């Protein structure tokens, strides 16, 4: 094992140890930590299957406790190409329809990358567990083509659409050292309190009009 892979193994074991003393939950790394701006390394056996599965459980528990719908390796201090994601969907029918937010069962993806599966972009507010307290509007493809492997090493190659595509793209970006504010409409930057007060509508039309930013061409939401 080379030095880089040995470091990842050490990082994984440190997170597992922290979770053991933290009720199964690991600390979340916040913006400003260099690991969030580093390109991750692929998983190629740095730890055994049992430790990898344990890491997936800790990352899911940490994500749910935050609470959030996705969490990438760098967000717990591990430079590994891995993320977990799970979304219960929206309870509001109009929001679910406008944002195409349907439930997404738990998924754990290793060595992920994605490409747009459509030229159509949609823009909505999103946030990040590593930038607590803030949201901004980000334009992302309505559909993406996800590639990677699951915990058993089985290849993943599928089209993901709607809000699930947004979550997957957001988490996969983390693996390349990209954070959501890098792609955001900065005029839309708002605190969580302001989003709840002013911009809780299913669409982003009102926010775009009043905050002064442009939605993707052809976006009808």
| Residue located via tokens 């406008």 | 98
Cα 16–Cα 18–Cα 24 angle in degrees, nearest 5:
70
Count Cβ neighbours within 10 Å for each residue of 16-47 and write b for 16 or more, e otherwise.
Answer: bebbeeeeebbebbeeeeebbeeebbbbeebb
Between the two ends of the chain, the Cα-to-Cα distance in Å is 50
Handedness of CA 134, 137, 138, 144 (dihedral sign): positive
Tell me if residue 171 is catalytic.
yes
Was 170 annotated as part of a binding site? yes
Was 85 annotated as part of a binding site? no
Was 87 annotated as part of a binding site? no
Catalytic residue among 126, 171, 176, 210: 171
**Taking the C-alpha atoms of 94, 99, 102 and 107 in order, what is their torsion angle to the nearest 10 degrees?**
-160
C-alpha 150/C-alpha 52 separation (Å) is: 11
DSSP class of residue 101 equals: -
C-alpha 125/C-alpha 201 separation (Å) is: 10
Annotated binding site for Fe cation: 128, 170, 174
Q: Which residues are catalytic?
A: 171
Annotated binding site: 128, 170, 174
């Amino acid at each position: 094992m080379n030095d880089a892979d040995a470091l990842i193994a050490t990082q994984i074991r440190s997170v597992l140890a922290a979770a053991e003393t933290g009720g199964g939950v690991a600390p979340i790394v916040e913006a400003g930590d260099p690991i969030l701006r580093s390109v991750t390394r692929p998983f190629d056996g740095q730890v055994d299957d049992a430790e990898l599965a344990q890491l997936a459980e800790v990352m899911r528990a940490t994500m749910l406790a935050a609470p959030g719908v996705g969490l990438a390796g760098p967000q717990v201090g591990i430079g590994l190409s891995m993320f977990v994601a799970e979304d219960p969907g929206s309870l509001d029918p109009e929001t679910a329809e406008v944002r195409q937010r349907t439930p997404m069962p738990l998924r754990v993806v290793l060595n992920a990358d994605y490409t747009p599966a459509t030229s159509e972009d949609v823009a909505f507010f999103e946030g990040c567990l590593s930038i607590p307290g803030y949201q901004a509007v980000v334009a992302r493809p309505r559909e993406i083509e996800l590639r990677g492997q699951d915990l058993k090493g089985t290849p993943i190659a599928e089209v993901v659409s709607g809000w699930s595509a947004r979550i997957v793209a957001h988490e996969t970006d983390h693996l390349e050292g990209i954070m959501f504010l890098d792609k955001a409409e900065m005029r839309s930057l708002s605190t969580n309190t302001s989003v709840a007060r002013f911009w809780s509508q299913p669409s982003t039309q009102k926010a775009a009009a009043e905050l002064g930013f442009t939605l993707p061409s052809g976006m009808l939401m």
